[in-house]
Chains A and B, each alone.
Chain A
Amino acid sequence: MRAACVLALTFAICSFPQETQGELDRAYLALRGGQLEQAADLFQSGLKKQPDHAGARIDYAYLLLRLGQTVEAREEIRIALEQEPEREALWLEYAFLCFETNQRPQGYEVFLRLRNTQDEAVRKSASDTFARIDQTLKIAIERWRREARENGGSYSVHEELARLLEERNDWVGAAEHYRIAFGLRPEKRSYLLDIARVEREALRVDYAMAALLAASRGANAWVAEQARERMTQRYPYVYEFQYAIQMDPMNVPLRRELGFLHLAMKEEREALRVFEELLRLAPEDELALAQVAFLKGSREMLAKVAEKGESNLSAVRELAKKSMDKGYLKDALEYLTQVQKADPQDYEAMLRLGWTHNMLKNDREAIKWFQLARQSSDPKVAKEADEAYRNLRPALAPFQTTSWVLPFYSSRWKEVFTYGQTKMEFRIPGLGVRPYLSSRLIADWGRNRSLVTGPGGALGPQSLSEGAVVAGAGVATPRRHGLMAWGEAGSAWRYFSRSEGGARIKPDYRAGVNFAKSFGEGGWWSTTLDAVFLSRFDNNTLFYSQNRIGQTRADGPLRFYWNVNLTMDAKRQDWANFVETGPGLRLHIAPLPKGLYFSVDYLEGWHLLPTAPGRARRFRDLRAGLWYAFTR
């Protein structure tokens, strides 16, 4: 048994926070040495680490009283009482401190409670004090009730009465007179905080919340912020708005917010009712006017708001937003222009101007606004504008260079192939087509060249790689509805030509039509259709249809899809007519450039025409490679 005690004691000593104990010990040492401020600092830091040490907390509280910090002392005692609520004498101390520090209602309540306590001395002191306080309050309340009857139009009389009633814990009575005082002097919005306080004590939580809600939406920032401190984190319910409006009927922002809340809840009829009521109270409220105009679809009212817009930009901003949301782009443009003229530093308006012009296909104007909005100090606005600017700029530049490269490995050919192109496109105003210069690369690793060249000797057009660089000049149409046409003339330089016995440089003419379109976002489908004439392929014309259907997780790095591809030609050559299908995935890793991704496709294919000897009609191919493209 003794061993167990020793063990327990050792455990207790070892597990006790030595450093904290040290701080508290030092606090007591400083206290004995008359170093009061130092002792207070040590108590404070010691109690932070050991908050449950009620004894030390009480000593700290009494030290704070010696230092003249009565409010802080009261709070320390309150915490100690939460830990040790059975300490009746300490409750008495707390009640007196509440009285000293302007928390008289709390003090009154504690004295009242302590009248029935066990400790006789405490009971007597509390009873005597309570009787004295209560009698004084009764007389004062009676006197101010009389004053309120005779001089009922004085807000300060009702305020005085409310405070006395609150001191006497008559919460409902106090609420009544605070409300009257607020009614007489609505500009003194701190009454709403008083109402909230006493309503909460009266357990009328809805009224308390309504008062805080009204206070938090008012013009007085101090009161509003105090109210926000006391409110719950959740957004208020509709009925709480309605209570708050009853309590503070002239509160325009409060009514307006309720209207917007109804709109957000798709309750347009209710919203209209709220905005119309608001307009009856405040006929000049442009925001409400704008909402009513939209809800009623009245262009006359809209024009009225816009006219007044100079004086109330927020209403015009709201009009612009609404117009954009509803697709009234020309109206939006008008309102946004008005906002921007009145407030040249409104970067959000600039951004919206950019988008509106963009949606109206006026990209030259759009890019100007995006460029300006990039300077916004709001990183969100600046980022969005910057992205929009970067996306638009290439399309509007006098010339644009696009490069792409596609190296990949094919299991069917056991070979690595690389295709690439750099194309500089010129935009000449007034010219319907765009001239361009192009350089293409068609290459392979050369691992199975003998196989490809084969017994026939010469490189056949069926090979996947020509080992050539093709330089040319051409023209292309702008893309409209996904469709564009192009044609170019140039020369192909075959860098394997010596061994293969053919001419090293050959003329190259090619032309085509391309259609590309994507649909959907999460689940998507993209299709590319090409018809390409190639002079070097025996003046053949090839037709490609490449389709992908897949699923993408938002912002995810992976994209899964299914391929269905069809290739045909005009000359009905066996190698050029096949169909292939199979799954694929594409991976983009965020830190890498946006235009770079890896892909893997597994395809099953069938030649559609009888094949040359030695070539199987059915094939499988695993293709793994990367794609990189960028535009400058």
Chain B
Amino acid sequence: MRLLASFFLVFCALPGASPALSPWQRILRAYGLPPEDWARVEHLVGHSSLTQSLGIGLGKQTVEVRQIRDITRPELPLIWEKPEKVVAAVLSPEWTVFARERWQGAPVLAGRRVGEKVLLWTATAIGERGYERYPFLPQAMARLGVVAPARAANLTVFFDASHRLRVDVPYLVKRWRRAGISSIHVTSWQFDGASPDKSRWLSRLIEESHAQGIAVYAWLELPHVSGVFWEQHPECREKTATGADAELDWRQLVNLVNPACADLAAQSILALLRSYDWDGANLGELYFESLEGFANRSRFTPFSADAQQYFREKLQADPAEAFAESSPLRPAFVEARAELAARLQMEWLARLDQLQKERPDFDIMLTHIDDRLDTRMREALGADSARLLAATEKAGTAEAGTTFPTFLIEDPATVWHLGPERYREIRARYEGLTAQPERLAIDLNIVERYQEVYPTKQQTGGELLQLVHEAAQNFDQVALYFEASLQNEDLPLLAGAAARLKAKQGEEWELGGQAWVAVEGPQRVDGLEWPFARKGELLLTAGKHTVRAGSGTTLAVEPRNLVLQSVQQTEQGWSAVYRASTQAWLISSSPFRIRLREKEIAANQNGRGEWVVRLPRAKAGEFELLAGPSEPLPAELPLTQARN
């Protein structure tokens, strides 16, 4: 369904996210620079006496710019919606040209360093959002040495294994970790009935990911079960409203309304889930087709005999009548279809719950298309997020302290062309629908859009960074669809964009969420020796911190796949409260010990020579990191809590 194009357009006007910010400031903010650093990167536009004095002269030619090419991805056409005439510039040798007009080669984006300052020149204004004309401004900044001071490490990506079967797995996983990715959701259906080689490949992927501290989820895409299931059980094929087998795009939809077929599907899926060391399952997009809704019967599901029977009972009429324009049956049909989708979703959550009981560290997530911003999704797909959110919370209230499944909101294809501000709006539309707002997460589709969008069909550069940044400011967890569509040039910049760095003034840091911050040499955080560190970086919790150069601790432990909520110094080391949706890891280059649930655990050495301790899934788990016996802590140190 993600790959479908639709003819819908959303005309809703979204309020600007940051009316006070100029387009240039939006770029700097999305890059991860705090306002205090903005003056370091200066933007020059067109021709003036200032640009003249800096070595940008006027050429003789006037060029109409419709398309440019950037050295970041020279093969990618960067097309401007509105052409603009510019006088070709003649640049002095100090300038590096990053982008040129496509046909005449006139420079349109260049940069240079002047002392500590970075200058970026563009031939025209950069557009209202900052990326309409020069999408690779962030890459130009990176080339000129601008570094985001904070990096998030909690991104999720959807992983289509079919694109990666020949990839070097350790290389790939390492690259994910560098990009701030903490979990991947793997196309599990591709491994139903997999050959031994393919099966080993998946086991290796999971093993390697765990070794790097990355959680691996089985991504389910029901009612698609798998290609094998489709071939083996033709009697379980869902039908479209024209009576054809519901093989739509790459999905082969199964009739889950039929209890026997649902049981067969469950057997297949649970077997798959038990066969590998998954950290969780993502029950994705369990509703119906298609985005064209009633307008296209050839794609409309479910319409198997079981589904028709269900609708007939609900409507007391032939469901085919609902396709007539202005049919009075339509509202009741839409309601019955949404109810059916919710029923199936709850049934499958219950099946996955069984697995969670067997494996306590197993996490369950739901991916659900947004139907609050684009309300037509309910009619088109049967999607009803409010109903599902309420149903999952009602089911969980029996046990106190239950953590409800993370609810990953997918922005529908119909709004992919809208700007990054939409994530604030989406977030607002879900306020009040859940007792645990922290369970809300957002899923960004980084794919070619069918709409008329500029300058690129697929989000990249400044647009992608703004999307990620805006999403991360509004949701604790950001997922990106999909891993292979993320370009090499964008990957290193995502962690900076996703960081919630509110302010940084000298030694004072303010963070809206946990992030790695760049420091040089040993540091103390809020007066404490701080062990949660890796080379050149400290992991700071959300809140305000003072980071000062100091003696620091020699112990450097890197938490992976967890959120530190608070850190206190104890007589023997540090006590930390953490949150982890699945298992988590503490990794160090030196041996270390922790105390977990009253039990002292020594780190084990892995094949890379690193020392590792595994932590269990927890909403508010605690562990005590013990300083080595050779380095007793002074008894007079006050117990301090990191400010949140």
- Give A residues with C-beta under 8 Å from B: 36, 65-70, 100, 140, 143-144, 146-147, 150-151, 154-157, 185, 188, 220-222, 225-226, 229, 377-380
Contact = CB atoms under 8 A, between A and B. Distances in A.
Q: Which of B80, B296, B457, B484 has the most CB of A within 10 A?
A: B296
Given A147-B298, A154-B298, A222-B79, A377 B166 contact: no
B247 A65 contact: no
Contacts of A69: 488
A36 B59 CA distance: 43
Contact of B79 (A67, A146, A221): A221
Contact of A222 (B167, B298, B452, B488): B452
Interface string B30-64: 00000000000000000100000000001111100
B296 A154 contact: yes
Given A68-B172, A379-B58, A220 B242 contact: no
A45 to B, nearest CB: 15
Contacts of B348: none
B186 interface: no
Contact of B242 (A70, A150, A155, A222): A150
A156 B296 contact: yes
Nearest to B82: A221
A351 B127 CA distance: 29
Nearest 4 CB-CB pairings of A with B: A66-B168, A147-B298, A68-B167, A65-B166
8 contacts: A65-B167, A154-B292, A156-B298, A188-B7, A221-B454, A377-B85, A378-B87, A379-B61
B500 to A, nearest CB: 29
Chain B contact surface mostly? mixed
Given A68-B164, A68-B167, A151-B297, A380 B62 contact: yes
Contact of B87 (A151, A221, A379): A379
A146 B298 CA distance: 10
A472 to B, nearest CB: 47
A522 B296 CA distance: 71
B63 to A, nearest CB: 10
Contacts of A146: 242, 244
Given A147-B298, A222-B453, 19 more contacts: A67-B171, A70-B166, A151-B242, A151-B296, A154-B292, A156-B5, A156-B7, A156-B292, A156-B298, A188-B7, A221-B79, A222-B79, A222-B81, A222-B452, A225-B77, A225-B79, A377-B62, A377-B87, A379-B87
Given A67-B167, A378-B87, A379-B60, A222 B245 contact: no
A301 B579 CA distance: 76
B162 A157 contact: no
A279 to B, nearest CB: 26
Contacts of A68: 163-164, 167, 172, 484
Contact-residue bracket for chain B: 35 or more
| Most chain A beta-carbon neighbours within 10 Å: one of B59, B61, B247, B452 | B452
Nearest to A75: B75
Best-buried of B5, B59, B242, B298 by chain A (most CB within 10 Å):
B298
B545 interface: no
B67 A225 contact: yes
B295 interface: yes
Interface string B155-195: 00000001110111001100000000000000000000000
A376 B162 CA distance: 56
Contacts of A140: 247
B66 interface: yes
A378 B62 CA distance: 6
A69 B47 CA distance: 40
Interface in B234-269: 242, 244-245, 247
A222 B80 CA distance: 8
B438 to A, nearest CB: 33
Interface string B505-543: 000000000000000000000000000000000000000
Interface string B269-299: 0000000000000000000000010011111
A229 B77 contact: yes
Contact of A100 (B7, B162, B296, B297): B162
A379 B5 CA distance: 45
Contacts of A147: 242, 244, 298
Contacts of A378: 62, 85, 87
A269 B44 CA distance: 51
Contacts of A377: 47, 62, 85, 87
A226 B47 CA distance: 30
Given A156-B292, A156-B299, A222-B454, A379 B62 contact: yes
Nearest to B6: A156
Contacts of A222: 79, 81, 452-454, 457
A69 B58 CA distance: 40
A36 B168 contact: yes
A107 B253 CA distance: 27
A146 B242 CA distance: 10
A151 B298 contact: yes
Contacts of B168: 36, 66-67
Nearest to A144: B298
A137 to B, nearest CB: 12
Nearest to A383: B60
A164 to B, nearest CB: 12
Contacts of B172: 68
Contacts of B83: 221
Given A151-B242, A157-B296, A70 B163 contact: yes
Interface string B81-106: 11101010000000000000010000
Interface string B354-381: 0000000000000000000000000000
B272 to A, nearest CB: 23
A484 to B, nearest CB: 39
A185 B8 CA distance: 12
Nearest to A189: B452
Contact of B7 (A70, A155, A229): A155
B245 A143 contact: yes
Nearest to B240: A147
A150 B298 CA distance: 9
B595 to A, nearest CB: 38
A73 to B, nearest CB: 9
B7 A185 contact: yes
A598 to B, nearest CB: 29
A108 to B, nearest CB: 17
A129 to B, nearest CB: 15
A6 to B, nearest CB: 43
Contacts of B457: 222
Interface centre among B60, B61, B166 (most CB of A within 10 A): B166
A146 B60 CA distance: 61
Given A146-B244, A222-B79, A157 B452 contact: no
Contacts of B163: 68, 70, 100
B66 A221 contact: yes
B106 to A, nearest CB: 13
A68 B488 CA distance: 10
A226 B67 CA distance: 10
B164 to A, nearest CB: 6
A157 B298 contact: yes
Contacts of A100: 162-163
A19 B299 CA distance: 59
A410 B247 CA distance: 101
A188 B9 CA distance: 12
A140 B89 CA distance: 54
Contacts of A185: 7
B171 A36 contact: yes
B244 A143 contact: yes
Nearest to A157: B298
Nearest to B171: A36
Nearest to A185: B7
A309 to B, nearest CB: 22
A241 B64 CA distance: 24
A188 B61 CA distance: 35
A313 to B, nearest CB: 16
Contacts of B171: 36, 66-67
